[in-house]
Amino acid sequence: MQETLKNWLNGAVPHMVELQKLLTAHPAIAPESGGSGEGRKADALVGWLRAHTPFIVETFPVKDERVPEGVRPNVLATLPGKDRSRAFWVLTHLDVVPPGDLSQWNTDPFALLEKEGRLYGRGTEDNQQGMVSSIFAALALTEQNLIPPMDVKLLFVADEEVGSTYGIKALLKEYPNLFGRADSFLVPDGGSPDGSIIEIAEKSLLWVKFIVEGKQVHASLPHLGKNAFLAGCDLVLRLAKGLSTRYPEKDPIFDPPLSTFSPTKKEANVPNVNTIPGIDIFYFDCRVLPRYPLDDVLITMDSLAREIEKEYGVTVKREILQKNESAATPSSSTLVKNLKTVLREVRGIEGKEVGIGGNTVGVFLRQKGWDTVVWSTIEERAHMPNEYCVIDNMVKDALVMAQLMLFTDL
Ligand SMILES: [Zn+2]
């Protein structure tokens, strides 16, 4: 079985490259990043799927007045299984980040170039590699007349690069019946060059803006004012120390194993040296182990802010810019076990479960209780100039996905 699938996939390489070329030719950049969305790319993909596969193809538009079509596209291709009440999902994203400084590219980022086993172009690795692997994995099954034990659903979402508001987040909200309770998800949008890294957890993400308000006066008479900068500095130090002390636990699957609480952005205050600043604004980026509720972190922040208010006579306000509570997919889940089995049998790789500090779409699925793994074999060229996908990785990952789709008990 494995040999037959492998041979078919190896023979399909020219078609995989063709599809990569088609997808690369349609820049799918978010309006926030100066683009007009994923509309054309989604149309091209839907056309290709209808022409070359027997999958049921549906679209789930999400309203967005900023793009020419007035909606952001989300595309679903279904290969029906024996048990139609459950599904194994492979989720990839349609959008890409802008190419950036063009002088750093050796070729046109939106014209695919094949060279020495690599495909160059924006989006070729992030996330078209996973997208094309998943399509050809499912196609390999239909070509062998294999009916998967449960539905195989390939979901191509919009808006992953700038927060998923019009992608997976909207689908979960606007089309909740799309997903079944017993479903599980593979997200091939992260991983490692040797294919061993299986991401099963992410730290919760919290971005907070702090606004310290004091009283602005001439710097020769500081006692008449309230120095917001000084109070702000004290608050930064108390937050950095206080939060790490209050949330000290380590989890070795993460690198670093600790929760992190980092002061980052700082807004300019007064333009001149001889004024006591009346306002001070700074930001914290917090990556917190899933075991600590973010509401608890906010309560700790507030109690430290109240101390500063009392001692300095200032007021401290805070705004939440991002708050994504995370949950982990257990190592003991069938999904993780199956992936490790397939990796061992198909590739001779020992899979290793890890947690990461960033946020992928996995976070939104795990929040809802679905087992989700982020895995692929990638060179990690995402967002860089001269982004490329290694053809061999795309083909090998397709074989792993095809085998996973055949597992009876996901
Ligand atoms: Zn990506």
Sheet with strand 371-374: strands edge to edge: 56-59, 75-79, 150-157, 83-93, 184-187, 371-374, 197-202, 352-356
Please provide the distance, in angstroms rounded to a whole number, between the alpha carbons at the two ends of the chain: 19
**pLDDT tens per residue across span 45-91:** 999 999 999 999 999 999 999 999 999 999 999 999 999 999 999 99
**pLDDT tens per residue across span 365-375:** 998 999 999 99
Q: Is the pLDDT of residue 382 over 90?
A: no
Residue 138 main-chain phi, psi, to 5 deg: -65, -35
CA 236–ligand 1 middle distance (angstroms) = 33
This model's pTM is above 0.95: no
Q: What is the 3-state secondary structure (H, E, C) of 259-288?
A: CEEEEEEECCCCCCCCEECCEEEEEEEEEE
Please report the pLDDT score of residue 376 as a whole number.
Answer: 97
Pick from 304, 324, 344: which residue ends a domain?
Answer: 324
Please report the pLDDT score of residue 250 as a whole number.
Answer: 97
- Which residue range forms the structural domain that includes residue 13? 2-201+329-405
Burial class (CB within 10 angstroms; exposed 0-12, middle 13-18, buried 19+) of 39: buried
Q: In whole angstroms, give the CA distance from residue 396 to residue 72.
A: 31
Catalytic residue numbers read 95, 160
CA 383–ligand 1 middle distance (angstroms) = 9
Q: Which residues contact 55 (CB under 8 A, 6 or more apart)?
A: 49, 77, 78, 79, 138, 154
Are 35 and 76 part of one and the same domain? yes
Are 35 and 126 part of one and the same domain? yes
Are 192 and 337 part of one and the same domain? yes
Average pLDDT over residues 335-364: 92
Please report the pLDDT score of residue 409 as a whole number.
Answer: 62
In a domain, 248, yes or no: yes
In a domain, 281, yes or no: yes
**pLDDT tens per residue across span 309-339:** 999 999 999 999 999 888 899 999 999 999 9
Q: How many domains does the chain have?
A: 2
Are 9 and 107 part of one and the same domain? yes
Residues whose Cβ atom is located within 5 A of ion ligand 1: 126-127, 189
% pLDDT > 90, the chain: 93
CA 208–ligand 1 middle distance (angstroms) = 25
In a domain, 282, yes or no: yes
**pLDDT tens per residue across span 204-246:** 999 999 999 999 999 999 999 999 999 999 999 999 999 999 9
Query: In 309-391, at which residue ranges do the beta strands (DSSP E only) sit?
Result: 315-324, 352-356, 371-374, 388-390
CATH number of the domain that residue 59 is part of: 3.40.630.10
Mean pLDDT of the chain: 96
CA 66–ligand 1 middle distance (angstroms) = 22
**pLDDT tens per residue across span 283-305:** 999 999 999 999 999 999 999 99
Are 179 and 229 part of one and the same domain? no
Q: Is the pLDDT of residue 410 over 60?
A: no
